[in-house]
Every structure is written in C-alpha cells, then in structure tokens.
Amino acid sequence: MKNRKQRVELIVDLIRTKCISSQEELSKMLTDQGFNVTQATLSRDLKLLKISKVPTDNGTYMYILPDSNSLKDKILSSGQIAMNANYQSGFVSLQISGNIAVIKTRNGYAAGLAYDIDMSNAPEIVGTIPGSDTLFAVLRDDITKEQALEVLGRLLPLEQKIPQF
C-alpha cells in the first residue's frame, strides 16, 4: 500500500500539470496511479493542501494550488479559452504619475494582477497595493516613464488602452 505522503505529492503534481475539475476526476487519476482513496480522504487531502477551485471561461471549474502563479498558463494550455491577455489579466488602462503606476482592471482582478506583478520580482517595481478594480505599483525613484512602460509592458498587454501622457 502506498503512503499518504506519496499520495499528497501526486495530488500536487496532478493539479499543477493538469486541468482537473472534480474530485471524481482526481480520484480516477489517483486510482490509475495505484492510490485508491475515498471521497472523504480526498476531500481532507485537498483541504490540507489548501487547494482551491476556480471558475473557467467555459463555465466549468478547475483546481489550483495556493500561491500558484501558473493558472494563466494552465488555462491557456488546456485550450479552454483563446489567448487574450486582456481577459486573463483584467487589464483596462495604465497611467504613470511620478513613481506610481495606476493600473485599472476589471472589477475583482486587481489583487490577482498585483500578485503577478509582485511575483515577477522586477527590480524596477518596489511593490503593489491592490484594490478591487485599481492597483498602484510603486516604482523605484530613479525609473523614467519610458523604463516603467518597458517593464510593465512585459507584464501587461500595453498595446491595449493606454492614456497619452
């Protein structure tokens, strides 16, 4: 009989690499790998791992790991939605004032986008402060608007709506 540690490691690997929408689907994958688990055991494992279920564009759900920055890649690679950076990030517009970038998003997207920006570890960005539909990215004092646009252009679909300075 395989042990719990191996089962939990497999669950993490499966959720990290596949779009799994239900406990039944995950249970079948575990069974295929030699782990026969009850629904209650699987539910406890998912709770222990703090795994969340998030909606997809096609009306289904999928599991994600906490602190996972691969959700966009996972959804795109599954073919569930077309590649559309504006949809993925919720990005609406960008304005830069001094060393603050004010980024407008669709309602509810600011925290996720702030997380993506923070996780990029861009040295030009000191940190972010998200709200519901707006986030502030604090830039280093010595960063010009051009440099800010360059670094944010790697993280945002800036070919979209950007106000003129």
- pLDDT tens digits along 53-70: 877 666 778 888 775 545
**Residue whose C-alpha is closest to residue 74's, from 12, 157, 18, 150:** 18
**Residue whose C-alpha is closest to residue 144's, from 124, 121, 119, 118:** 124
pTM over 0.85: no
**Residue whose C-alpha is closest to residue 30's, from 124, 163, 22:** 22
**Residue whose C-alpha is closest to residue 136's, from 152, 121, 120, 153:** 152
Question: What does the pLDDT read at residue 68?
Answer: 54
- pLDDT tens digits along 86-128: 345 678 899 999 999 999 988 778 888 888 888 888 999 999 9
Contact 91, 103 (CB under 8 A): yes
For residue 108, the Cα-to-chain-centroid distance in whole angstroms is: 13
- pLDDT tens digits along 144-155: 999 999 999 888
